[in-house]
Protein backbone atom coordinates (compact mmCIF):
# COMPACT_ATOMS: atom_id res chain seq x y z
CA UNK A 1 0.00 0.00 0.00
CA UNK A 2 1.55 3.31 -1.03
CA UNK A 3 2.01 6.03 1.55
CA UNK A 4 -0.68 8.69 1.37
CA UNK A 5 0.08 12.33 2.11
CA UNK A 6 -2.53 15.06 2.44
CA UNK A 7 -2.94 17.55 -0.35
CA UNK A 8 -0.64 20.57 0.00
CA UNK A 9 -2.22 23.36 1.99
CA UNK A 10 -3.55 26.23 -0.13
CA UNK A 11 -3.35 29.73 1.34
CA UNK A 12 -6.54 31.14 -0.15
CA UNK A 13 -7.11 33.91 2.37
CA UNK A 14 -6.30 37.58 1.77
CA UNK A 15 -3.24 39.02 3.49
CA UNK A 16 -3.72 40.41 6.96
CA UNK A 17 -4.44 44.13 6.89
CA UNK A 18 -2.72 46.53 9.27
CA UNK A 19 -5.60 47.90 11.34
CA UNK A 20 -3.63 51.07 12.13
CA UNK A 21 -3.23 51.91 8.43
CA UNK A 22 -6.87 51.16 7.63
CA UNK A 23 -8.02 53.24 10.60
CA UNK A 24 -5.75 56.20 9.71
CA UNK A 25 -7.08 56.27 6.14
CA UNK A 26 -10.65 56.73 7.37
CA UNK A 27 -9.95 59.66 9.73
CA UNK A 28 -11.55 62.99 8.87
CA UNK A 29 -10.20 66.42 9.79
CA UNK A 30 -12.62 66.49 12.74
CA UNK A 31 -11.33 63.15 13.99
CA UNK A 32 -7.73 64.33 13.72
CA UNK A 33 -8.61 67.58 15.52
CA UNK A 34 -10.29 65.76 18.42
CA UNK A 35 -7.31 63.41 18.74
CA UNK A 36 -4.97 66.42 18.77
CA UNK A 37 -7.03 68.15 21.49
CA UNK A 38 -7.16 64.95 23.57
CA UNK A 39 -3.36 64.53 23.29
CA UNK A 40 -2.75 68.21 24.08
CA UNK A 41 -5.11 68.51 27.05
CA UNK A 42 -3.90 65.20 28.44
CA UNK A 43 -0.27 66.32 28.65
CA UNK A 44 1.88 67.74 31.41
CA UNK A 45 2.84 70.58 29.07
CA UNK A 46 -0.78 71.74 28.95
CA UNK A 47 -1.26 71.44 32.71
CA UNK A 48 1.91 73.43 33.42
CA UNK A 49 1.10 76.17 30.89
CA UNK A 50 -2.49 76.45 32.12
CA UNK A 51 -1.30 76.61 35.72
CA UNK A 52 1.15 79.41 34.87
CA UNK A 53 -1.57 81.37 33.02
CA UNK A 54 -3.98 81.01 35.95
CA UNK A 55 -1.34 82.07 38.49
CA UNK A 56 -0.40 85.06 36.33
CA UNK A 57 -4.06 85.99 35.88
CA UNK A 58 -4.75 85.85 39.61
CA UNK A 59 -1.50 87.61 40.51
CA UNK A 60 -1.74 90.45 37.98
CA UNK A 61 -5.40 91.00 38.67
CA UNK A 62 -4.80 90.90 42.42
CA UNK A 63 -2.06 93.56 42.39
CA UNK A 64 -3.76 95.86 39.88
CA UNK A 65 -4.22 99.08 41.90
CA UNK A 66 -6.61 100.98 39.73
CA UNK A 67 -8.39 98.62 37.40
CA UNK A 68 -9.33 95.04 38.24
CA UNK A 69 -10.49 93.48 34.96
CA UNK A 70 -11.77 90.47 36.91
CA UNK A 71 -12.61 91.37 40.51
CA UNK A 72 -12.40 88.73 43.23
CA UNK A 73 -13.62 85.88 43.13
CA UNK A 74 -12.40 85.92 39.49
CA UNK A 75 -15.75 85.36 37.78
CA UNK A 76 -14.33 85.95 34.27
CA UNK A 77 -11.55 83.39 34.83
CA UNK A 78 -14.15 80.94 36.13
CA UNK A 79 -16.27 81.55 33.00
CA UNK A 80 -13.29 80.84 30.70
CA UNK A 81 -12.41 77.66 32.60
CA UNK A 82 -16.04 76.48 32.50
CA UNK A 83 -16.22 77.09 28.76
CA UNK A 84 -12.95 75.25 28.24
CA UNK A 85 -14.28 72.26 30.23
CA UNK A 86 -17.61 72.36 28.37
CA UNK A 87 -15.86 72.04 25.00
CA UNK A 88 -12.95 69.85 26.01
CA UNK A 89 -14.94 67.03 27.63
CA UNK A 90 -17.06 66.14 24.56
CA UNK A 91 -14.04 66.41 22.26
CA UNK A 92 -12.08 64.01 24.47
CA UNK A 93 -15.09 61.66 24.52
CA UNK A 94 -15.17 61.66 20.69
CA UNK A 95 -11.50 60.70 20.66
CA UNK A 96 -12.05 57.97 23.27
CA UNK A 97 -15.04 56.55 21.37
CA UNK A 98 -12.96 56.33 18.22
CA UNK A 99 -10.13 54.67 20.15
CA UNK A 100 -12.54 52.04 21.50
CA UNK A 101 -13.75 51.42 17.93
CA UNK A 102 -10.13 50.94 16.87
CA UNK A 103 -9.61 48.52 19.77
CA UNK A 104 -12.66 46.49 18.64
CA UNK A 105 -11.31 46.40 15.07
CA UNK A 106 -7.92 45.31 16.39
CA UNK A 107 -9.51 42.55 18.48
CA UNK A 108 -11.51 41.34 15.46
CA UNK A 109 -8.35 41.34 13.34
CA UNK A 110 -6.55 39.31 16.03
CA UNK A 111 -9.43 36.83 16.02
CA UNK A 112 -9.20 36.42 12.23
CA UNK A 113 -5.44 35.91 12.38
CA UNK A 114 -5.89 33.33 15.13
CA UNK A 115 -8.47 31.46 13.02
CA UNK A 116 -6.10 31.39 10.03
CA UNK A 117 -3.22 30.24 12.22
CA UNK A 118 -5.36 27.46 13.71
CA UNK A 119 -6.31 26.26 10.24
CA UNK A 120 -2.68 26.24 9.10
CA UNK A 121 -1.50 24.49 12.27
CA UNK A 122 -4.16 21.82 11.72
CA UNK A 123 -2.84 21.28 8.15
CA UNK A 124 0.72 21.03 9.46
CA UNK A 125 -0.33 18.51 12.11
CA UNK A 126 -2.13 16.38 9.47
CA UNK A 127 1.00 16.43 7.33
CA UNK A 128 3.19 15.46 10.30
CA UNK A 129 0.85 12.58 11.14
CA UNK A 130 1.14 11.34 7.53
CA UNK A 131 4.93 11.59 7.77
CA UNK A 132 4.87 9.56 10.99
CA UNK A 133 2.91 6.80 9.25
CA UNK A 134 5.26 6.91 6.25
CA UNK A 135 8.35 6.71 8.46
CA UNK A 136 6.87 3.79 10.37
CA UNK A 137 6.16 1.93 7.11
CA UNK A 138 9.65 2.67 5.78
CA UNK A 139 11.18 1.49 9.05
CA UNK A 140 9.16 -1.73 8.92
CA UNK A 141 10.28 -2.38 5.31
CA UNK A 142 13.93 -1.84 6.28
CA UNK A 143 13.60 -4.19 9.23
CA UNK A 144 11.87 -6.81 7.06
CA UNK A 145 14.56 -6.54 4.37
CA UNK A 146 17.29 -7.17 6.97
CA UNK A 147 15.48 -10.32 8.19
CA UNK A 148 14.26 -8.72 11.40
CA UNK A 149 17.58 -7.20 12.37
CA UNK A 150 17.94 -3.46 12.69
CA UNK A 151 21.17 -1.93 11.53
CA UNK A 152 22.34 1.38 12.73
pLDDT for position 96: 94
Q: What is the domain range of residue 50?
A: 20-113
- For the chain, residues with pLDDT lower than 70 are 1, 3, 65, 148-152
Q: Is 38 within the bounds of a domain?
A: yes
pLDDT for position 13: 77
Q: Is 14 within the bounds of a domain?
A: no
Q: What is the 3-state secondary structure (H, E, C) of the chain?
A: CCCCCCCCCCCCCCCCCCHHHHHHHCCCHHHHHHHHHHHHHCCHHHHHHHHHHHHHHHHHHHHCCCCCCCCCCCHHHHHHHHHHHHHHHHHHHHHHHHHHHHHHHHHHHHHHHHHHHHHHHHHHHHHHHHHHHHHHHHHHHHHHHCCCCCCC
Q: Is 11 within the bounds of a domain?
A: no
pLDDT for position 151: 59
Amino acid sequence: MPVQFPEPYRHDHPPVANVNDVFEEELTRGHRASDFVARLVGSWKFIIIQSIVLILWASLNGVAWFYHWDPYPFILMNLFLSMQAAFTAPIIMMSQNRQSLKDRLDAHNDFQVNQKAEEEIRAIMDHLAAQDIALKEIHLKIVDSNNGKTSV
